[in-house]
């Protein structure tokens, strides 16, 4: 009798209708969601290289949505395709000030993932996350200078000095616009170097020693400098045109330079960063003298550099200058490695150099 009951129950389970199975799946997934929800909503601690833990929350709604839809996607792919053509999700724009409806056919449920600050307020930025922010090292030596020692060093030094002449003539002491132009150029070398090292790594089946990531992070950091300056400076149409021309010429020129001589390319960047430190120092002098108004820091700068809420333009320029000093050291170090006849991968890239 017991065997007959067992066989009957097994047959019913195997032949059950979609509705019964869905009820079973929903009950299982609901139980999983209840368990996961308590875990997900707890603050997650992410460690950064500044020695500070960044606390943030990720809402469980994202996980719940994925669990509830998972079995239905597997059981009826055609129905999901038809539904996905018309379904949309809303995601915040980069500044967190609105929402944009985008197709959710591919199952990207970004709107259901919620990231918050330590104080519980919503994180407004999509361009970087809380664990990617950091505190700049303001104790770095700003007066370091690499004295040209060989022909390559002298070529790099003279090249940078020649590039400074038209910049001084065009911008004079308008350091806000000068910084904007400087950052559009400074964000190029890291991207070019990282791209070429990436191609070399996959072409020769070898590791990069961490230099790909280091250079790409440098490019991203310089881009964030530019995004910050754009909040403070509104470039005119001819300045935007100038940026396009300078970027196009500099990118291609630096690409050729890096292919021919990485040592020269990194040395040029090192001297460019030295000039950037000088420019930002003059920027700070004009702020102290009252020639430039010390306005409130943009919100993106406060979150990116973990500045106090009452931070001002002076604080922003100070941390950017510290970043430039780090980039100076990294690129001079890279050039020194190449100067010794070694590959960058033979010396580990600096970690957490921001």
Q: Which of 148, 176, 150, 142 is nearest to 161 (CA)?
A: 148
**Cα 178 to the center of its chain, rounded Å:** 23
Answer whether 172's CB lies under 8 Å from 297's CB: no
What's the pLDDT score for residue 327? 95
What's the pLDDT score for residue 285? 94
Structure pTM? 0.73
What's the pLDDT score for residue 230? 87
Range list of β-strands (E), the chain: 44-47, 53-58, 88-92, 99-103, 115-116
What's the pLDDT score for residue 60? 43
In sequence order, the β-bridge partners of residue 58 are 115
pLDDT tens track of the chain, all 354 residues?
A: 555 555 665 565 555 544 444 444 444 444 443 444 444 444 444 444 444 444 555 554 444 444 344 444 444 444 444 444 444 445 455 554 455 666 667 777 665 567 888 778 888 888 888 888 899 999 999 999 999 999 999 999 999 999 888 888 877 778 888 888 888 899 999 999 999 999 999 999 999 999 999 999 999 999 999 999 888 888 888 888 888 898 999 999 999 999 999 999 999 999 999 999 999 999 999 999 999 999 999 999 999 999 999 999 999 999 999 999 999 999 999 999 999 999 999 998 887 655
Degrees, nearest 5: CA angle 170-217-97:
80
What's the pLDDT score for residue 109? 67
**DSSP summary character for residue 60:** T
Domains of the chain: 173-346 (1.20.1260.140)
């Amino acid at each position: 009798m017991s065997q007959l009951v067992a066989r009957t129950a097994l047959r019913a389970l195997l032949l059950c209708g979609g509705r019964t199975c869905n009820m079973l799946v929903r009950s299982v997934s609901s139980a999983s969601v209840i368990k996961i929800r308590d875990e997900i909503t707890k603050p997650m601690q992410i460690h950064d290289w500044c020695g500070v833990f960044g606390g943030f929350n990720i809402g469980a709604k994202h996980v719940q949505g994925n669990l509830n839809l998972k079995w239905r996607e597997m059981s009826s792919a055609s129905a999901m395709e038809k539904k996905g053509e018309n379904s949309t999700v809303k995601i915040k724009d980069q500044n967190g000030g609105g929402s944009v409806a985008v197709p959710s056919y591919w199952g990207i449920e970004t709107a259901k993932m919620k990231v918050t600050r330590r104080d519980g307020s919503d994180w407004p930025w999509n361009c970087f996350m809380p664990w990617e922010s950091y505190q700049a090292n303001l104790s770095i030596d700003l007066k370091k200078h690499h004295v040209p020692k060989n022909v390559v060093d002298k070529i790099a030094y003279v090249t940078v000095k020649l590039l400074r002449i038209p910049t001084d003539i065009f911008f004079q002491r308008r350091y806000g616009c000068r910084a904007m132009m400087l950052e559009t150029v400074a964000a190029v070398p890291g991207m070019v170097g990282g791209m070429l090292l990436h191609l070399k790594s996959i072409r020769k089946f070898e590791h990069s020693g961490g230099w790909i990531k280091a250079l790409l992070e440098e490019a991203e950091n310089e881009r964030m400098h530019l995004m910050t300056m754009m909040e403070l400076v509104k470039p005119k149409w001819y300045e935007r045109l100038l940026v396009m021309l300078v970027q196009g010429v500099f990118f291609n020129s630096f690409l050729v330079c890096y292919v021919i001589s990485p040592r020269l390319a990194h040395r040029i960047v090192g001297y460019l960063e030295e000039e950037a430190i000088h420019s930002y120092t003059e920027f700070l002098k004009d702020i102290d003298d009252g020639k430039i108004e010390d306005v409130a820091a943009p919100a993106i700068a406060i979150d990116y550099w973990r500045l106090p809420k009452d931070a001002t333009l002076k604080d922003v320029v100070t941390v950017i200058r510290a970043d430039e000093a780090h980039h100076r050291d990294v690129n001079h170090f890279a050039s020194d490695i190449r100067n010794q006849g070694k590959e960058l991968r033979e010396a580990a890239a600096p970690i957490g150099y921001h």
